Amino acid sequence: MKEWIALNMTPGVGPRAATKLLERFGSPGAVFHARRTELESLRIKPETIDSLIKRELEARAEQELERVKALDGDILILDDGSYPALLREIDDPPIVLYVKGDWQGCFDRPCVGVIGSRTCSTYGENASEMLARDLASRGITIVSGLARGIDTAAHRGAIRGNGKTVAVIGTGIDSVYPRENTGLVREILASGGCIVSQFPLGTPPLKENFPYRNRIISGLSYGVLIVEASERSGSLITARLAMEQNREVMAVPGNITSGNSFGTNYLIKSGAKLVQQWQDVVSELPSEIAATILPPKIKKAKAEEAVRQPELIPADMSENERAIWTLLTADEGTHIDILLESSKLSFGDLNTALVAMDIRDLIRVLPGKHYARRI
């Protein structure tokens, strides 16, 4: 394992160069014993060749392994039986994965990637959390990138569904980016999820790291669901990677006047599966997996009748809470002044009801004293 770690830590050896070296020499050990002329024939950078010949990273690799163990982490290598099978199938897979948490439990379940805009709308945040929750509660592992916005909502939804979620990061597993998600990482690990990275410990959140992270998100997953994406969103790059990896690409439709929905609507127009509910995602999974999750088909009339049924108001609501609930939507926030005027409640009664509903996780408290339903 030490030689695998050392090769992964060698400057200039990314997944593509590592694949080229392993195809030529067969193993990391053979790479480190290769002659300079052999390495030069592969058009490897001179400084990378110097590092490989000097074998200067082998001692650091031993220390790296000890530090990972001290963090309660593990390292998976490409030729290990524990390495995720789907990820191994892609072109130039990462030769080393740093993992922390219940990675075995996460990878034993079918995985679906859920990604999208960092600056998402309330609609997008709710949709991401709802779909992730519904999928995770049915035994699907939610894979996302720990970014602000849609990714964060997807991880939280999986946790709310008492399921598993994988956070693929663009740093070492010894750090959290963005820092505001430090608490979320603790929740992911406590709920049986895991953290995954191809980068050595101490790697900072460099811009060039995140395309590698995105390849892992799609590579681990049977399909990738894009919830919100602008015209130039990085999520569209992940969608392209997913197609190149022969993965399913799915998208949530959005408001045609919203910039955040341009990318998802474009994907749907280009052939991506339109997703409105968790069943739409499961139906795109391999048939042997979908058959264990989807209920038996019901008659069309019954299905249409079920769609027409009105939304149920959550149980155990007080009269004041019911009045507020009917004024809220899941798509966008409602300002407290509108609630005060429309509900006819006193400010004290309104505030008391809102606090109680927030504690019971029935509503979202949004910036600027806006409130929305939790789906």
Structural domains of the chain ordered from first start? 1-70 (no CATH), 103-293 (3.40.50.450), 319-373 (1.10.10.10)
Residue, of 115 and 362, whose pLDDT is higher: 115
pLDDT of residue 57: 87
pLDDT of residue 296: 62
Q: Is pLDDT above 90 for 309?
A: no
pTM of the model: 0.81
Q: Is pLDDT above 80 for 15?
A: yes
Sequence letter at residue 78 = L
Among 142, 150, 205, 212, smallest CA distance to 179 is for 205
pLDDT of residue 333: 86
Residue, of 105 and 335, whose pLDDT is higher: 105
Q: Which residues pair with 113 in a beta bridge?
A: 143, 224
78 neighbors 95 (Cβ within 8 angstroms): yes
Which of 43-47, 146-150, 196-200 is predicted with the least confidence, judged by mean pLDDT? 43-47
Among 36, 122, 90, 316, smallest CA distance to 198 is for 90
How many angstroms separate the CA atoms of 359 and 182, rounded? 22
Q: Is pLDDT above 70 for 372?
A: yes
User: Which residue matches tokens 């990972």?
Assistant: 68
Beta strands in 233-301 (DSSP E): 248-251, 273-274
The DSSP code for 200 is P
Q: Is pLDDT above 60 for 298?
A: no
* Residue 351 pLDDT class (50, 70, 90 cuts): confident
51 three-class SS? helix
CA end-to-end span of the chain, whole Å? Answer: 46
* Residue 299 pLDDT class (50, 70, 90 cuts): very low
267 neighbors 253 (Cβ within 8 angstroms): no
pLDDT of residue 243: 93
